Amino acid sequence: MFRIPWKHAGKQDFRTDEDAAIFKAWAEFKGKLVENGNSDPASWKTRLRCALNKSPEFCEVTERSQLDISEPYKVYR
């Protein structure tokens, strides 16, 4: 099992360089990172979430995920 930080981009304490790093890395790996300087953490997060949900190799463990805390996360196996 592993967990992924899942902080909402609309939160005041959201830091793109830290809170969206894994989502940005996925977008870059898939060739979907826009190079014109605009950052879009919400669409990066959507792309990773959809990829994880589509993959038969991963399954979200919803009973272990914590989304209503100051440092929210989702758990997958």
- pLDDT tens, the chain, 77 aa long: 999 999 988 888 898 889 999 999 999 999 988 776 677 899 999 999 999 999 999 999 999 999 999 999 999 99
Domains of the chain: 2-76 (1.10.10.10)
- State the pLDDT at residue 17: 87
pTM of the model: 0.85
Separation between Cα atoms, residue 67 and residue 6, nearest integer Å: 7
Would you state the pLDDT for residue 77?
97
Helices (H) and strands (E) in the chain, counts: 3, 2
